[in-house]
Amino acid sequence: MPDTQSPTRKRIVDAATRLFYAEGIGRVSVDAVAEEAGLTKRTLYYHFKSKDDLIAAYLDGRDQPNLRRMAGWFDAAEGGADRKVEAIFTNLARSARHPKWKGCGFLRTAAELASMPGHPAVKVGARHKLNFETWLAGALSDHGVGEPPALAREIVLLIDGCFSIMLIHRNPDYIEAAGRAAATLVRARISGSQV
Amino acid sequence: MPDTQSPTRKRIVDAATRLFYAEGIGRVSVDAVAEEAGLTKRTLYYHFKSKDDLIAAYLDGRDQPNLRRMAGWFDAAEGGADRKVEAIFTNLARSARHPKWKGCGFLRTAAELASMPGHPAVKVGARHKLNFETWLAGALSDHGVGEPPALAREIVLLIDGCFSIMLIHRNPDYIEAAGRAAATLVRARISGSQV
DNA sequence: TTAGGTATACCGACTAGTGAATATACACAA
DNA sequence: TTGTGTATATTCACTAGTCGGTATACCTAA
């Protein structure tokens, strides 16, 4: 039984992360991952029982880093909850301008696996998105905004809308627009009025 | 030179539409499309110069039907602009419950082609999404809502957010939540106040 | 000696795309 | 009416290469 902490396994996941994110899971062969990791396919199959297994491991490795990045942007921003939420979008727009940016790995993988809803990688993605939504609801609650769970969900929808539409238009203006919409939704709950 | 109106070509596009939407463009071979259309691969290649060409034709054929469907939902709904916008989401949630529903073909294709931003199919998708945004801005303008282009863009972001996140969670509650958020954004512009 | 880890070499199935031949239909001249 | 040429449309058989996955053997450290 392979060691789940082994440095070899980590090297494989790192290689898979680079390639899967850059090209998409369907366009990257197991051979290519093995080569990128500097070992043979047989070794890769010693550590992972299938390509599907490797895909799930790739996404699992992105869960915490992604969460920390988003939380960092929120925490670092000045101002009230509306400004902090908008800061997430501003920072997202900045990263999206980087030429290597290819959207959200979780969403892109789910899109590629749309015909296999029970795929383990989709489940990992669902857990990640739920983790984020839960964290955001808590953060909004800490800032005294009304209905944190409902608001967090609406913001999540705008964020994932950005990720998707950016892959079509490649125009960060959409992210800025989503940020303004999110701020509007936050303020609708700060004023307490049922707008 | 092949006839671009030929019934054979239409048969191929129809077959491609069924398979590409159900399985994703990367998981469907040209052989499979030819078989689904009831002809040989060589005939398919007489009508389309490449698989990429066929993918673009598939999406091109979905542009107008999709637009008409959305516009139909909007027009048929009772009430003000907020209710009409929310109706789009309610109907979307209803279709999403159908077992054959696999999200938005345009977004899924763009996600699969994230590493090829200039792909002809992505351009077709961009045109479609822009067509929809433009139509929605016009419809909102007809109902006297403020800042129709900005509002239309925000609603588009929520719709595409639904499409994406549904592929992960498979939970139509997200679509209902997006509908409420969209209605909130519309009302923020009906009251004219800068919420 | 034993077990974890790695390498070489291979499997059958499938991939996008093509060469060459042929079927069909219509135009026009004898 | 018949024969010939031409453009469109279709088929069979094939290429060269890639896919995920595996059988077998080897090496090294405990």
In sequence order, the 6+-apart residues with CB closer than 8 A to the CB of B94 are none
pLDDT the model gives residue B3: 75
Residue A106 CA to residue B188 CA, distance in Å, equals 32
d(CA B119, CA B56): 9
Mutation target for A interface from B115, B119, B160: give the one with most A CBs within 10 A: B160
Nearest by CB: B158 against A111, A158, A170: A158
What Å distances lie between residue B176 and A172, B63, B93, B173, CA to CA? 26, 24, 7, 5
Low-confidence ranges of chain A (pLDDT < 50): 193-195
Q: What's the distance, Cα to Cα, between the start and end of chain B in Å?
A: 58
Query: Using one digit for the tens of pLDDT, what is the confidence trace for A50-62?
Result: 999 999 999 999 9
What is the C-alpha to C-alpha distance for residues A18 and A33, in angstroms, rounded to an integer? 9
Whether A107 sits inside 8 A of B167 (CB atoms) is yes
Q: Which has the closest alpha carbon to B107: B137, B128, B85?
A: B128
For residue B11, is pLDDT > 60?
yes
The DSSP result for A127-144, as a single string, is HHHHHHHHHHHHHHHHTT
CA dihedral A53, A59, A60, A62 (to 10 degrees): 150
Look at residue B5 in the predicted model and tell me its pLDDT.
75
Taking the CB of residue A111, how many other CB atoms lie within 10 A of it?
28
Residues in chain B: 195
**Residue A4, SS3?**
coil
The answer to whether the C-beta of A46 is closer than 7 A to strand C is: yes
Give the model's pLDDT for residue B195. 42
Kindly state the DSSP code that residue B25 receives in the 8-state scheme.
G
Q: How confident is the model at residue A139, as a pLDDT? A: 98
Q: How far is CA A6 from CA A1, A2, A41, A43, in A?
A: 12, 8, 17, 12
Confidence band, pLDDT 50/70/90 cuts, at residue B194 = very low
- Give the pLDDT of residue B4: 72
Instruction: Delineate the domains of chain A, giving CATH numbers in brackets.
Output: 1-49 (1.10.10.60), 62-190 (1.10.357.10)
The string of pLDDT tens digits covering residues B15-33 is: 999 999 999 999 999 999 9
Evaluate whether B162 touches B174 at the Cβ level (below 8 Å). yes
Contact call for residues B82 and B180 (beta carbons, < 8 A) = no
The per-residue pLDDT of chain A, averaged, comes to 93
**CA A150 and chain centroid, separation:** 20
Beta-carbon pairs below 8 A across chains A and B = 161
| Closest by CA position to A15, among listed A81, A71, A49, A61 | A61
Q: Is the CB of B167 under 7 A from strand C?
A: no
Q: How far is Cα B120 from Cα B52, in angstroms, rounded to an integer? A: 7
Q: For residue B57, what are the contacts with CB-CB under 8 A and spacing of at least 6?
A: B13, B16, B48
**Nearest residue to B71 via CA among B56, B91, B101, B57:** B91
Q: Which residue, chain included where needed, has tokens 């905004």?
A: A145
What pLDDT is stored for residue B1 in this prediction?
A: 67
Asked if the Cβ of residue B6 lies within 7 A of any atom of strand C, the reply is: no
Task: State the alpha helices, DSSP H only, in chain B.
Answer: 7-23, 30-37, 41-47, 51-76, 81-96, 105-112, 120-142, 148-169, 173-190
> Taking all residues of chain B, what is their mean pLDDT, rounded to a whole number?
94
Interface with chain A: mutation pick from B112, B113, B168, highest number of A CBs within 10 Å: B168
- Judge whether residue A35 contacts strand D, using its CB and a 7 Å cut-off: no
Distance B154 CA to D28 C1' (A): 61
pLDDT per position as a tens digit, A98-125: 999 999 999 999 999 999 999 999 999 9
Query: How do residues B52-75 score in pLDDT, each as one tens digit?
Result: 999 999 999 999 999 999 999 999
DSSP state of B79: S
DSSP at A93: H
